[in-house]
Structure 1
Amino acid sequence: MACRKILVPIGGGDATPWILDGAFLFARATGAHINALHVRSDAKEAVPLLGEGMSGSMIEEMMDLAEKDGAERAKRTREKFDTFVAANAVKLTDEPLAGDGHVTASLTFSEGREDEMVSRLGKVSDLVVCSRPNPDSDRPPLVMVHAAIFETGKPVLLLPLAPVENMGTNILIAWSGTSEGARAISAALPLLEKADKVTIITVESENSPIKVSARDLTDHLGWHGVSAVHDGVTADRSAGEIISDRAKFHGCDLIVMGAFTHSRLIQIILGGVTRHMMNTSEIPILMSH
């Protein structure tokens, strides 16, 4: 799959520089355009949430504070985006540059709900990049991450909660034979074709047909010039734990996998591989639902 346009929601906080840097690593491998998106919440929408019994002056004061906070976040976003552009010699443009394989970038400011904007603009992008949810911060909102995964129809690159130095040189494919996993692999092909090492991991139970499926995937990747090795692991604990451990064992800098291959409600309530990886992974994950 050609990746020409990447949507990158940013909030202007401490994570903004390494989210942009993570997007740049992927964009550099594919010659893509980075569309950084900053969504400023509408203070008027917060009025119904401020609570009953508040006076008009109190509500007005709260709205003024929200406006000032929004303006400050937007200012920090612009400053950090400009720093990123200068540090990486990225070309600024809002239009495609014919015959240009270099990374380009633009910054879009919008107002409203971030999850709705990501859902809308993600549908007309090739990839969405964000960090995994941070339990110690309101960035990124879980509802926005879910919008990227479930509502855009596009793959999502989920970054860890720390800067990433390399991406795509040593790739782990977590394969379970699902259509979601197949879509993730198609999205990762530009990186897989350039990777130094590709490992296919399968978590196998007794009489599992997944080993045969892994051979089929290895053959398919061979047609793209990708030489992959298969690592079959017995399911002696949760699949999420096994995938994380094997990725560290192989020294991988990217994990490719399907997202929420079971019901979204079941995985949110009971847990699952996707939820485990979203909550704990220290390695970037390219996932697709």
Structure 2
Amino acid sequence: MKSILIPVEDHAHMEAVMETALLLARAFNSYMEGIAVGPDIAEFVAADFALSGIVLDDRTRRDFVDHSRRMLESFMARRHVERPRDEGDRPTFGWTGDALVSDSGVGEYGRIFDVITVGRPGQGPRSPRKSTLEAVLFESGRPVLIAPPEPPQTLGERIAIAWNGTTDTARSIAFAMPLLTRAQDVVILTVPGPALPGPSDEQLAKSLRRHGAQARVGIVGEAENSPAAALLEAAAALGADLLIKGGYTRSRLRQLIFGKVTSEILAEANLPVFMAH
């Protein structure tokens, strides 16, 4: 995980996103690259925002880009992270572009990075936008590290896997293997509910142990509210500082209709979530 893309936007949890990316970068001496992201003009017009006319102004868009770049540079300066000079043994950062990029544009650019770090979406006016997460998840072909509103103190020391036997979860685990083999503890939690066709949690644990991961099977208690709540409670009880799961086993449309585990975890998780589709 030597390259991390950070879509930068002026939302309430941007500091947590950068902190989470830096924790990952410190583990692998990674290069982090910032890019300014903003809603498409069409999105503003469709939503009938008062700012829709202002977004058309090139100078205003450049101001947004400059502000995003300064946010990243200021954060990295406070953390004593420098721009790359050579192939060193420390995290570095850079910036790309001088134009505001759409969510889809970030998803396309993210295809050359090992992981993309975004904030957990929310409903508030200054919360990270769900459209950014969905664009990088569905259009990049790369894993996404979703930062919680409050930055974690550690990342990847104790990992929980939400296992449901699906291809999306298997792909997430494959992308996360560098983290899994470094972790002190890897606990596999089976998603409550009817089992889907696929290997069992114990079979997954054996497979991960062949790679040197400290993998074992955990227990998820009965959920009073939902399977997602039960998973998050189990992860919290384990002291997990990262949750790995598949992204949207169902289509996005069906996800909106049925409100399944992924959407609920995205709404409630207070630990970083590593996800691929």
Q: Same fold (TM over 0.5)?
A: yes
Per the alignment, do residues 41 and 137 of structure 1 end up closer, same or farther by CA in structure 2, a change over 3 Å counting? closer
Q: What displacement does 1:7 show?
A: 1.0
**SS of residue matched to 1:154:** coil
1:19 corresponds to 2:28: no
CA distance in 1, matches of 2:157, 2:165: 23
Name 1:32's counterpart in structure 2. Answer: 30
Q: What displacement does 1:196 show?
A: 1.8
Matches within 5 A, 1:135-214: 135-205=123-193, 208=195, 213-214=200-201
Per the alignment, do residues 263 and 33 of structure 1 end up closer, same or farther by CA in structure 2, a change over 3 Å counting? same
Post-superposition CA distance 1:74-131 (Å, at most 9, x none): 34323322222222222313x8x44x33211111234355212212111111111100
**SS of residue matched to 1:118:** helix
1:79 corresponds to 2:77: no
Given that 1:180 and 1:258 are in contact with CA atoms closer than 8 Å, whether structure 2 keeps it comes out as yes
1:223 corresponds to 2:214: no
**SS of residue matched to 2:9:** coil
CA distance in 2, matches of 1:225, 1:79: 41
Q: What letter is aligned with 2:242?
A: L
Post-superposition CA distance 1:232-266 (Å, at most 9, x none): 43665532111111111111111001111122211
Q: What displacement does 1:133 show?
A: 0.9
Given that 1:13 and 1:76 are in contact with CA atoms closer than 8 Å, whether structure 2 keeps it comes out as no
Q: What letter is aligned with 2:202?
A: R
**SS of residue matched to 2:189:** strand
Given that 2:117 and 2:146 are in contact with CA atoms closer than 8 Å, whether structure 1 keeps it comes out as yes
Unpaired runs of 5+ residues, structure 2, are: none
**SS of residue matched to 1:121:** helix
Per the alignment, do residues 48 and 92 of structure 1 end up closer, same or farther by CA in structure 2, a change over 3 Å counting? same
Larger Rg: 1
Post-superposition CA distance 1:196-223 (Å, at most 9, x none): 22111013557x4889621111111112
Q: What letter is aligned with 2:79?
A: N
Give the number of aligned pairs: 275
Question: How high is the TM-score relative to the length of structure 2?
Answer: 0.86
Per the alignment, do residues 186 and 101 of structure 1 end up closer, same or farther by CA in structure 2, a change over 3 Å counting? farther
Q: What letter is aligned with 1:154?
A: R
Given that 2:243 and 2:271 are in contact with CA atoms closer than 8 Å, whether structure 1 keeps it comes out as yes
Given that 1:40 and 1:111 are in contact with CA atoms closer than 8 Å, whether structure 2 keeps it comes out as no
Given that 2:11 and 2:128 are in contact with CA atoms closer than 8 Å, whether structure 1 keeps it comes out as no
Per the alignment, do residues 67 and 216 of structure 1 end up closer, same or farther by CA in structure 2, a change over 3 Å counting? same
Unpaired runs of 5+ residues, structure 1, are: 52-58
Given that 2:37 and 2:106 are in contact with CA atoms closer than 8 Å, whether structure 1 keeps it comes out as no
Question: How high is the TM-score relative to the length of structure 1?
Answer: 0.83
1:263 corresponds to 2:232: no
Q: Percent of aligned positions with the same letter in both sequences?
A: 28
Given that 1:10 and 1:77 are in contact with CA atoms closer than 8 Å, whether structure 2 keeps it comes out as yes
CA distance in 2, matches of 1:126, 1:108: 16
Given that 1:41 and 1:70 are in contact with CA atoms closer than 8 Å, whether structure 2 keeps it comes out as no
Calculate the aligned-residue CA RMSD, in Å: 3.1
Q: What displacement does 1:140 show?
A: 2.5
Q: What displacement does 1:181 show?
A: 0.9
CA distance in 1, matches of 2:196, 2:97: 49
CA distance in 1, matches of 2:55, 2:170: 48
Name 1:7's counterpart in structure 2. Answer: 5
1:108 corresponds to 2:87: no
CA distance in 2, matches of 1:190, 1:204: 27
CA distance in 2, matches of 1:89, 1:236: 44
Given that 2:193 and 2:227 are in contact with CA atoms closer than 8 Å, whether structure 1 keeps it comes out as no
**SS of residue matched to 1:182:** helix
